[in-house]
Structures are given as C-alpha cells and as structure tokens.
Amino acid sequence: MAGPPCAELHLHIEGTLEPELIFDLAERNGISLPYSDLDELRARYEFTDLQSFLDLYYRNMDVLRTEADFADMTRAYLRRAAAAGVRHSEIMMDPQAHLARGVALETCVNGVASALADSESEFGISTGLIAAFLRDRPAEEALEVLEQLLDMEAPIIGIGLDSAEVGHPPSGFVDLYERARAAGLRRIAHAGEEGPPGYITEALDLLGAERIDHGIRCMEDDALVQRLAAEQVPLTVCPLSNVRLRAVDTLKDHPLPAMLARGLNVCVNSDDPAYFGGYVDENFAQLGRTFTFTADDLARLAVNSVRSAFIGAERRSALL
Ligand code: HPA
Ligand code: ZN
C-alpha cells in the first residue's frame, strides 16, 4: 500500500539525519565519530524507550555545524518526502539542542529555512517551520530562546514541546505557550507518547495546544477519547516510531485502527524517519501489511492530515 498524497505534521528535522549523511558531515567538518563505519553506527539503532533514542539523536546531531549542513539535511528530507507522497510538511527543529553545543541560533534557523524557501518549486512541498522546545530543560531557557527567535524574526509558524516526556508535564510551560500565543504563533505539543493521558488534557487546557503529537495513550481514558473526538483535536500519530521506542509491543498492537473507529482525528507521520525505519510511505506500507484498512479509512487519514495543517484555505483546497 503506497501512502496517499498527504501532509506530514509530525517530523523532527534532526531525526531525518541519515547515517550516510552523518558520516559525510563528520568528514566535511573534521569531526571524528565514535563509530568506525556505517554498520557500527546502525548497530546502535536498537532502542528500549524514548530516552535511549534521544541519547543517540542528540549525539548524532553534533555533526551539524554550518548553515550548509542544516540546509543539506533539510533538502535530503524534502526529496525523500516528495517521493513518499508528502505535499505539505510542518517541520519541527530543536534550537536548544544546537545552542547547548555552541551552534548559533542563526546557523540552524537560517540553514533549515534556506532549504524550505525553495521547497515548493524544487519538490512541490509547501512547508512550515516549528520551533520545538525541550521539556527536560528549564522552562526559563525555552522562554529566552523564544524571545531570541522573535527578535531575529525567525520564519517560524509555531512552537512545539518535545524530548523526554515522563516527569516533564505541560504545566511547566504555561508562560512559554502564553508568549507564543501573544506573538501570533500556532501551538502544538507532544503528549501521551510515553506520558499519561493527563498530559494530553494539560497540553490542551493549560497550553492551548491546537494539535497533539502522538496522543496514543488517550486510549486509556474513555472520557478523554470522547472529548478528543467531539472536538476533533488532531493527533499526529507515528506508528513506526511507537514500535521502535516500544510504546507498543508490535505494529499489530498499535491503537491506530481503534482510534479511527472511535472517530478521532488521526493522521500518519514519520517522526524521526532516519531512526525508526521509514518515511511516511513506509509507515503506510507496514500499516497496510498489518491491518485491513478500507479505502475510506485511507482517504480519511490523508484528509485528516490536510485539514489539521496550519495552511490557508487556498492551499488546503489544492491539497484535498
Ligand atoms: N518524542 C519526543 N521528543 C522527540 C522525539 C520523539 O519522538 N523525536 C525528537 N524529539
Ligand atoms: Zn516527535
């Protein structure tokens, strides 16, 4: 089953850094890697939970040093996403992860943004850039970085909240989200990936999140499912990510079919495709081999992605 043309709404650009590009950028920047070859690096891609993935994800992004590095990574993603059937992509980046290792905000923002600027003409993909904040770092730091992004007029459409979820509830980031709202930015947040259903409620009620990234643990709380269905809150589900980070045991155990059956506004996304075994098309291909989706289900997943995107009416109708 090929992926239907769709919007990708849950994608970390640093999670598109493929092993080959890690080696290329290390060489370009004179960095010596702690792996002797690609096989040795790939052998590390066995994760037990979110944190075990994040450890490698933050370590590998150290090869990103210049604007050209960020632009090359972004262009490689867009090329691959176009082949996967993606027509619109809202892309998160983690500015704090780069600042913490001495890379200037301008370097990462301008590098990614320069590739996005040519995306429609080069790849037929419209895009939006979202600054994601690391929930396992201090909220004051996130607010400072947001102010810097606003001062430099970074071309962002919104903010997100990612990194280690458990023990870092949305309630710690009320000021950040209020500042983003006041600045006219859209707001999304990871919730209910490893964290409890209550984090989804907090993200909606305390942060004003307009979309929930993952959200799969909502299925443990029937009243929450009813609310999410009634309000048609978009849930950007990432099936292969959930398998690789052991949020579910196998793809067969994934709640996506049950979520569709409950009338939730779910769509399919790749999250960190270089780490989790595939882009959006591979997510659809494996879902198709595991479940029996009707043509109607598949159409609904694609339509949900487009109607949940932060785009104007004209682009939306062009994509539907
Ligand atoms: N979850 C939380 N934080 C992240 C992820 C994820 O899947 N990928 C990059 N940062
Ligand atoms: Zn994510």
Single out the catalytic residue among 67, 193, 194, 202. 193
**In terms of residue numbers, what domain contains 25?**
6-310
Q: Are 303 and 6 in contact (CB under 8 A)?
A: no
Pocket of ligand 1 (CB under 6 A): 12, 15, 50, 57, 162-163, 190, 193, 241, 271-272
pLDDT band of residue 3 (cuts 50, 70, 90) is: low
Q: Is 316 inside any structural domain? A: no
HSE of 306 in the Cβ direction (CA atoms, 13 Å)? 20
Ligand 2 being an ion, which residues bring their Cβ within 5 A of it?
271
85, part of any domain: yes
Which class for 187: exposed (0-12), middle (13-18), buried (19 or more C-beta within 10 A)? buried
Residue nearest ligand 1's atom 5 by CA: 163
Spatial distance between the Cα atoms of 273 and 95, rounded to a whole number of angstroms: 19
Nearest-atom number in ligand 1 for the CA of 163 is 3
What are the tens digits of pLDDT across the range 60-103? 999 999 999 999 999 999 999 999 999 999 999 999 999 999 99
Output the six-digit token pair for 148. Answer: 């810097």
Q: CA 301, CA 297: separation in Å to the nearest integer?
A: 6
Q: What angle do CA 166, 202, 96 make, to 5 degrees?
A: 55
pLDDT higher than 90, residue 2: no
Nearest alpha carbon, ligand 1 atom 4: 163
Q: List pLDDT tens digits, range 50-63.
A: 999 999 999 999 99
Beta partners for 117? none
The residue whose CA is least distant from atom 10 of ligand 1 is 163
| CB of 170 closer than 8 Å to CB of 204 | no
Q: What is the pLDDT of residues 182-199, one digit of tens each?
A: 999 999 999 999 999 999
**279 C-alpha to ligand 2 centroid (Å):** 13
The model's pTM is 0.98
- pLDDT, one tens digit per residue, over 19-29 is 999 999 999 99
67 given a catalytic annotation: no
Residue 177: is its pLDDT beyond 50? yes
Q: How far apart are CA 127 and CA 122, in angstroms?
A: 12
Contact 225, 262 (CB under 8 A): yes
| Sequence-distant (≥ 6) Cβ neighbours of residue 299 within 8 angstroms | 4
* Closest residue by Cα to residue 266 from 208, 219, 312: 219
Task: Return the amino acid letter for 94.
Answer: D
With contact defined as beta carbons under 8 Å apart, do 58 and 97 qualify? yes
Q: Which ligand is nearest to the CA of 162?
A: 1
Domain count, the chain: 1
Percent above pLDDT 70 for the chain:
99
**Residue list for the binding site for substrate:** 272
Q: Does residue 203 form part of some domain?
A: yes
Cα separation, 269 vs 266, whole angstroms: 10
Helix axes 105-117, 139-151, angle to 10 degrees: 60
pLDDT tens sequence across 132-158:
999 999 999 999 999 999 999 999 999
Q: Is the pLDDT of residue 5 over 80?
A: no
Residue with tokens 């604007």: 67
Examine residue 315 and state whether it is found in any structural domain, yes or no: no
Checking if the pLDDT of 1 tops 90, the result is no
Q: Is residue 134 part of a domain?
A: yes
- Testing ligand 1's pocket by substitution, the residue of 193, 199, 238 carrying the most ligand atoms inside 8 A of its CB is 193
Q: Residue 1 falls within a domain, yes or no?
A: no
Cα 203 to Cα 65: distance, rounded to the nearest angstrom: 33
Flag whether 262 is in a domain: yes
75 located within any domain: yes
Q: What is the mean pLDDT of the chain?
A: 97
Q: Which ligand is nearest to the CA of 53?
A: 1
Domain harbouring 82, CATH code: 3.20.20.140
How confident is the model at residue 4, as a pLDDT? 73
CA 213 – ligand 2 centroid, Å: 6
